[in-house]
Structure 1
Amino acid sequence: MLAQHPGWVFFEGCNMIEASIAAVPGLIVSFLILAALIAAPTVLVAKARNKPWPLRTALAVYLAGILAVTLLPGDAGLQSWQCDTGAPTHLFTSASSLLNIALFVPGALLAVLLFKRPVTVTAAFGALSGTVEIAQSAGHLGRSCSVTDLTANATGALLGSLAGAVWIYWRRQSPAKPLRDFAWGTSLGALAVLAIGGVFESRIDRVDIVAMDDQKRALAESAVQADEWITAAARGVFGSDTQVRETETNKDGNRLQITATTDHGTISGTWPAKTLESAWSSNTRGDAGSLNKNEVTAAAAQFAHKWFPQNVAGSDQRVRSIGDGPTMAYTVVYRRYADKVMMPMRLDLTITTTGRVIGFSAKTVNDPVLPPVTVDKAKAKALAKAATGLPSESALLLAQQVKGEWRPVWLVGSGKQDIAIDAATGERIAGKE
């Protein structure tokens, strides 16, 4: 029977921690040494007090096993004074959590069989679990402090104590002063919660490993999708026979910046917005084609409507030639204006007389809401001249971000210096020269 064979409970518990051996070098040797150091005095003290020694020794040795499994240096862990405080959502589905539950069940069971105080034992093992997690966080042990582990250990302590209580009642053995056990247990539990919670609140930096892992997984999945998208875009821009040689992905806030290098050129864009930003063919020479200016403009418009519908809508189109002769090419520029203010959207295409797009650069931005313009071109030039003492050569009204806010801005060229003037207030904008 279980009460007559406490060593059976101990060795069953040892089987539960076999999975930890590979992760903690020297676990078995360290455990055996620690168990021997604890078992010998436990037996001697028990015999000196005329107390049964097997159950006491089994509990002491099992506690040594818990300490060995949880506190021996390993090769994992967070930084010092950090703890994974993510919600224990995988408590009964994670193999690691189930192992931590199993680790504390036999110890709590042995303690209840020995002391017959299930409430106090539960609280004591819960406090032990919290102390272990704090020690893992505070020490440079290569171990990971985790609220999930703490919860799993406390759950194991509760299950072990319940099993011990059921065994006691089934064997019709009287618990040791139930009311005192309840009072001591609840007091110890409350004190442990306050102490451990205080340390977590005041000293430990919280991280959420599960959320971080989910983010990494989502990022990896997103990177695969982004790679597929940029590959399809490269073949759409450069031709269906395009072969992607490599892709480079960089995280930029909540988006991915992805660039593909192909046998026909390079192309880049952002994911998950699916907005292309630039592309340049490896062959930047013009083609000896037969398309005239109007036909090239129509080909550019067709390309722009396919790949940049948001940029083209409501935009003005301007065309200028590059070079001359049979290899002449054209630059087709799209800009959008609102109340004569140039919006931040940009789209520039370079296209040959065969309709081949050599390259493009694009900036896809929603039109910002701007304050009304109160400073006209003449006044902007006068303000710039007053600031520099130089005559104004040019003036351009466009939307720009100033200290994180979109403003209508006059960029006035004065000699070798550009002066930026807020078109709504007339104030000169520092740092824009």
Structure 2
Amino acid sequence: MFQAVFQHHLTFVVLAFLITALVTVGVARAARKSTRRWFIGAFAGSVTAVLLLTLWSTGGSDMAPTCVINHNVLEPFSEEQGLLNLGMFVPVGLLGTLSARHAWPAILFGVTLTACIELTQGLLPVIGRACDTSDFMANAAGAVLGGLAGWLFLQADRQPGTGWPLRPGRVVAGFGAVWLVGAFLGGFYIHTSIEAQTVAGGPADDQQASAVTQAVREAFGDHYPIQRTAFFAGPGGTGTVMAYLPSGFLQINWPQANDVTVSIEPGTSEDSGYPVAAVDAKLTTKQQALSLTSTYAKQHFPWGLTQAHVQVDPVGPQAQLGWVVSWRRYRAGILMPMRLDVEIDRHGRVSQLHALNAADPSLPAVTVSAAQAAALANHAEAGCEKATPTVLMALPTTHGTWTPAYRVVLTCGTNGGLVIVDAHNGTVLNHVLYPAQAAPSNPADGDVGAP
């Protein structure tokens, strides 16, 4: 949430600060007869800041009202985003307690406030914010901690003072009414999605950090310092380890650590990409791009060039942004999983990279022809007038083995289709329709039986 708010939105940050300051001063002046007027003003300012941070629109969505329920209630307290959410509500509980000189209504207010915020985010997807019980848990914990801190301060305060005159029954009834309305709105209008975890990112452990550091050194030597590392968990102990670089990132799969993806911000400055040559190369042809990129690949990923077919494709009109050089390996006309893609700009700098170092798997025999695969694909998506097998590739199965498979592209009027057909037993493994203008790209595109 904080990254979405603060990154590239300096105008909003300044405006939110000014609004919060105005509310703080205005409420303090309005409460000038109270000896706690500045506590009251600061409390109003803290609530204003929370509302601005949580309800400011990050971009609308046409999704149905949804709220995610996280089974892992402790998850938000183990990662940076959750701790920031916790800290955001500490001033609400603290200043509310110091203003009212009562802790329990301030804590109840803070917990109710975060519930209302999450409910609003869920009911109004147009503001582009997410309703998530992880946020609620972190925010509520912050309000409780702030309230307890305020209570301890009041216990140590030797100056006499009385709290706001409160009638507990009415206070509880008022907050209860708010919760009942919220429960009604949430129950009738919000769809819930139950997840085992919602915030996958957290600090990488020593083994993960070592693996991603090694991948950075393999790709760039000591050129880039690693600012921090993180692990984004997936199912069954798998996931992605990320290394954040000064102008981009490098990520690897986990636990295999053999699939590397790099994105470096393109541009013309020295830190905009990894310089392959000592000086700007000023590339003008794809032959020059191939020569320089091959030099880089031989130094950093020599395994990707062994018995591999190479292809050079322009990036942007007339290769304004450079070229992508791709290496693929085929066995008996079957595309193997190994791949190496390097994007190099006209200044001789690597900006994008995908390297999958995978051994050639053992495959069963191909018993289905390309024509048979096309017929099977047409049968899977009836009504399509054309089926074109584009590549025969090695594909992992759900049983942990590999099989040869055809990738078949369909033409279906104004729509297209993509069908994967097992080349060993003729099973249709996957098929999907899409608008013709949104045809999915695939680095394995090519003619069946390519070298």
Smaller-chain TM-score bracket: 0.3 to 0.5
TM-score (normalizing by structure 1)? 0.46
Please say which structure displays the higher CA radius of gyration.
1
Higher helix content, 1 or 2:
1
TM-score (normalizing by structure 2)? 0.44
